[in-house]
Structure 1
């Protein structure tokens, strides 16, 4: 939906989460029958396991007899790196080009930031979605997925600086630059848009973004939005995502995207936000939409009612996951107009 009034956004504030979709409840029950999820002593232990799970899922979803087999065809894949401005670390980047237009300069460049709480995920962890995005174009386009460094080995500010360095190195001077992020990658995408020069980002696409730290009595949420930040409560918890837990406020960052002033958001690119109503981060995205609209930003919103946080990543085989992906592609087309 295209947002035309702040009242539209305020009406989407839920005190309790809408009921879960029956299809999700069925999938959740099936998930429970598979046994408990593996437990890890630290994020460092989980990181390689998560990365391998994502690669196996891509392999499964693009197998010869699988629904998304076409997504591994017609795309040229390259691995490269970008030097960090902080310490010259080689930031891994996955580059995807449409084979048909590989020799042509892209008209659209997508810079993609994966999710994972800034603690898991690599440049190829959301490759299925990245490929789907690129294949939606019938003209020269390129996608870069950024493998920024992760906590706890590196502080959150390094995640941010890697993301900004990657955008500055990879964005085009002539093409339309679209910045995309899911979950904590949405936090990075929003931060990049706030920190790079006005006009360098053509459009912003956020999926279940992290934009605030609602802990400690919401003191890190601007007063204007505190009343509408309601989703950090048990009714929004799902079997795949509970609460984003931080060891220190804001993960040690000075601010998060929702704390930007109206003045700082002036000139912000048009933005498309996808939210899931069964998500403790629902209010993060909704309140950020309010902040953008308050600053006069063109805004469209998509709400997946009854579905949990970035469920298309955990259960890509579900028909509803494909529907959510297709809704995202509509948003991408709008941004690229």
Structure 2
């Protein structure tokens, strides 16, 4: 259900709602597969996570599979853009409809993947990206940015690469849309706050990280603390607990929720998709409230009874496909 601006504060749940019955069935299925793999380090996990994402996409788009159509009629390119800091080659995945590949795009989507700034690559959310390119809304070109990851690089470099990707690839005449899920939503929101005014047409965030509540209430703006309620045991799910950081904010000067009202003024229309059973739920909700206080038009979509970015973890579920379709509807709302 979509919630427009005036109702956002009513969505600050004190406890998480019950999990959806279909989610509970999925949880039981995961339990029967045995305990999850334990990794010695994030560095060990990074390539395995990336390959698991590729394998999942291949399975979903195989001949005869539900999303086979997403594999057809899409031109896929991989290239790099240079970092403004050190010249590092930032990986980029580009997707166009084959019929539009030689035409200038009407809409440019700059996409940032999730993964806590620690895992994920440019193609790790390609299934969602293909839903956007095949949305039928016009000549869409999508660029997914493979920003550098912690712990090999500091979070400041994640943000720098994300901004460099936007500056290098944004369209001069096209409508530029920033988009991201989880920590990719953090990158999208942060870039929207520091990019040149007037260069962004809209922002689309899915379960975005915008604050560092687990490190302490002092990292939540005081006026928003009554609505930031999800750093609480009832919001912990089998998919995600608290986003623990080695240092507050991962060493960043501030996170998007800490922007002043003046800094948020004149930001573009923003659509936010939230899963209610998620310790990061309040990050996105409070960011929507803050944007609304600054006069930005905001729309929030709730996935009630579901955990953090479930559409990425279990794309085969009917509810995941529904969430992807809602994402496309959110893009249409931003563009209307």
- Same topology, TM > 0.5: yes
In the alignment, what sits opposite 2:65?
66
Q: Compute the displacement of 1:3 (Å).
A: 2.0
CA distance in 2, matches of 1:249, 1:217: 8
Q: Which stretch has the larger CA shift, 236-245 or 76-85?
A: 236-245
CA distance in 2, matches of 1:162, 1:36: 35
Residues 1-337 of structure 1: pairs in structure 2 closer than 5 A: 1=2, 3-5=4-6, 8-337=7-336
RMSD: 0.8
Kept in 2: contact 1:178–1:336 (CA 8 A) = no
CA distance in 2, matches of 1:227, 1:172: 40
Kept in 2: contact 1:108–1:178 (CA 8 A) = yes
CA distance in 2, matches of 1:199, 1:282: 29
CA distance in 2, matches of 1:225, 1:302: 20
Q: Compute the displacement of 1:170 (Å).
A: 0.2
The 3-state SS of whatever aligns with 2:262 is helix
Q: Compute the displacement of 1:2 (Å).
A: 5.0
Q: Compute the displacement of 1:138 (Å).
A: 4.7
CA distance in 1, matches of 2:170, 2:59: 32
CA distance in 2, matches of 1:14, 1:255: 25
CA distance in 2, matches of 1:254, 1:168: 21
Q: How many residues align?
A: 335
Kept in 2: contact 1:266–1:297 (CA 8 A) = yes
Unaligned runs of 5+ in 1: none
CA distance in 2, matches of 1:269, 1:325: 22
CA distance in 2, matches of 1:138, 1:217: 42
Q: Compute the displacement of 1:137 (Å).
A: 2.5
Kept in 1: contact 2:214–2:244 (CA 8 A) = no
The 3-state SS of whatever aligns with 1:47 is helix
The 3-state SS of whatever aligns with 2:65 is coil
CA distance in 2, matches of 1:63, 1:216: 43
Query: What is the CA deviation profile of residues 239-288 of structure 1, one whole-angstrom value per residue up to 9, with x for unaligned ones?
Result: 11111110000000000000000000111000000000010000000000
Kept in 2: contact 1:3–1:301 (CA 8 A) = yes
CA distance in 1, matches of 2:63, 2:214: 46
The 3-state SS of whatever aligns with 1:219 is helix
Q: Which stretch has the larger CA shift, 322-331 or 114-123?
A: 322-331
Distance 1:251 1:58, change over 3 A: same
Distance 1:35 1:170, change over 3 A: same
Unaligned runs of 5+ in 2: none
The 3-state SS of whatever aligns with 1:227 is helix
